[in-house]
Amino acid sequence: MKTLTIIKPDDWHLHLREGLVLKNIIHFTSEYFGRAIVMPNTKVPITSIKSAISYKKSIIEALPESSKFKPLMTMYLTDETDKGELINGFKNNVFFAAKLYPANATTNSSHGVRKIENLYKIFESMQDSGMPLLIHGEVTDSEVDVFDREEVFIDKELSQITKRFPKLKIVLEHITTSYAVNFVKENNIGATITPHHLHINRNAMFFGGLNSDFYCLPVAKRENNRLALRKAATSGEKCFFLGTDSAPHLRKWKAFCGCAGIFNSPVAIESYLTVFEEEDALDNFEKFASLNGPNFYNVPPNKEKLKLVSRPNKIKEFIDVIQEKNTVGQIKPFHAGETLQWQVEGKLI
């Protein structure tokens, strides 16, 4: 039996949600990842030190007993963001980073930023204090084709930001195109890559009829882009690191409104590993999962290890959301019903 032991990974882009969903899903991340950057697009977004502290407290209370998992909090930038609040929160270790959602670009982003230029003063202070800027990189103009929104964002917005703020620590989140891969490499910024964008191309959304299970934002693109992402992720290059963008939506909502987001935390490590094995790059997995992120963010890698075993691993069709022993909802995980060939030692889903 093939095994692989790596330094425990971190998830540099994660949605934990709140309340019952948070309580039911957090263990999928907290058991197998040392830290995670928690996205601030909760129903009422995390826009202040106070709300970040209380959200962090609810996450810690939801953790399994004696868990050492560390949630890293982010502040949701809006047109009204107060620079003092942001930088103070960073200097006092409340915020690990700031998150930029162009208004209405994705799930729960209606409070996002309408004119990015208006944030330039804030970016200057972030650059001075070393605070990372995490970006959902898509324009929202209705004239721009949904499949072109990442590229247009890079040309219209990101290239301006990198030019004006060359020392600002920027992560382009969940990249989906070869254009983004090249931009990241050439401009000294970082990027997260999700498991689903390594496995599916845009055909998946039309598999067996309109299929919202594979709908996320940015949407998966053409096959040539998927191949470029696989090459980037498995290259071991320092600018690319693990960020699952695991984004749970209850089945009833997903089926009803087709909301954007794929829930992959129950299978993320196994899903990535499948890709690394297929690309004959298992040797680079630890870099992508456990070393490149800490290197980018200037934090030490985790001390613990994680053992991965090559054996058939059948993934459940649904993860139940349980309240006082009753199933009150379900969430479909990525790879539902498939059998993967890797498993984190001791994990059953």
Ligand X SMILES: NC(=O)N[C@@H](CC(=O)O)C(=O)O
Residue whose structure tokens are 């003063």: 121
3 or 110: whose CB is closer to ligand X? 110
Residues 6+ apart with CB under 8 A from 202: 147, 219, 220, 221, 222
101 or 276: whose CB is closer to ligand X? 101
Give the closest residue to 177 by CA, choosing from 236, 231, 112, 121.
231
Q: Which of these segments, 21-29, 44-52, 134-142, 269-277, binds Zn ion (CB under 5 A)? A: 134-142
CB of 233 to Zn ion, least distance (A): 17
CB of 146 to ligand X, least distance (A): 12
Q: Is 260 annotated as a binding residue?
A: yes
Helix, strand, or coil here: 102?
A: strand
**271 sits in which H/E element:** helix 268-278
Give the closest residue to 171 by CA, choosing from 140, 193, 196.
193
Q: Is 62 annotated as a binding residue?
A: no
CB of 101 to Zn ion, least distance (A): 7
Please count the residues of this chain forming the interface with Zn ion, following the rule CB under 5 A: 3
Residue from 151, 245, 270, 286 touching Zn ion (CB under 5 A): that is 245
Phi and psi of 20, rounded to 5°? -65, -40
168 or 217: whose CB is closer to Zn ion? 217
**Does residue 106 interact with Zn ion by CB under 5 A?**
yes
Residue from 23, 99, 136, 249 touching Zn ion (CB under 5 A): that is 136
216, interface contact from Zn ion, ligand X, none, CB < 5-8 Å by kind: ligand X
CA–chain centroid gap for 79, Å, is 23
Q: Which of these segments, 104-112, 205-213, 278-286, 326-334, binds Zn ion (CB under 5 A)? A: 104-112
Give the closest residue to 215 by CA, choosing from 229, 230, 200.
200
For the chain, the residue count is: 349
267, interface contact from Zn ion, ligand X, none, CB < 5-8 Å by kind: none
Catalytic, out of 82, 155, 245, 283: 245
Note whether 96 and 74 are within 8 A (CB): yes
**Does residue 264 interact with Zn ion by CB under 5 A?**
no
**Has 82 been annotated as catalytic?**
no
**Does residue 225 interact with Zn ion by CB under 5 A?**
no
176 or 343: whose CB is closer to ligand X? 176
| Cα–Cα distance, 349 to 340 (Å, whole number) | 12
CB of 39 to ligand X, least distance (A): 6
CB of 343 to Zn ion, least distance (A): 25
268, interface contact from ligand X, Zn ion, none, CB < 5-8 Å by kind: none
Number of Cβ within a 10 Å radius of residue 85: 17
CB of 72 to Zn ion, least distance (A): 14
Note whether 11 and 267 are within 8 A (CB): no
Intra-chain end-to-end CA distance of the chain, in Å: 20
Beta bridge partners of 76: 99
Beta bridge partners of 246: 14
Torsion angle of alpha carbons 278, 211, 217, 146, nearest 10°?
110
41, interface contact from Zn ion, ligand X, none, CB < 5-8 Å by kind: ligand X
| Cα–Cα distance, 16 to 300 (Å, whole number) | 23
Which residues lie near ligand X (CB under 6 A)?
Answer: 15, 41, 106-108, 136, 216-217, 245, 247, 260-261
Q: How many helices (H) and strands (E) does the chain have?
A: 13, 15
Binding positions for Zn(2+) are 13, 15, 99, 136, 174, 245
Interface positions with Zn ion (CB under 5 A): 106, 136, 245
Catalytic residues: 245
Binding positions for substrate are 15-17, 41, 136, 217, 249, 260
Binding positions are 13, 15-17, 41, 99, 136, 174, 217, 245, 249, 260
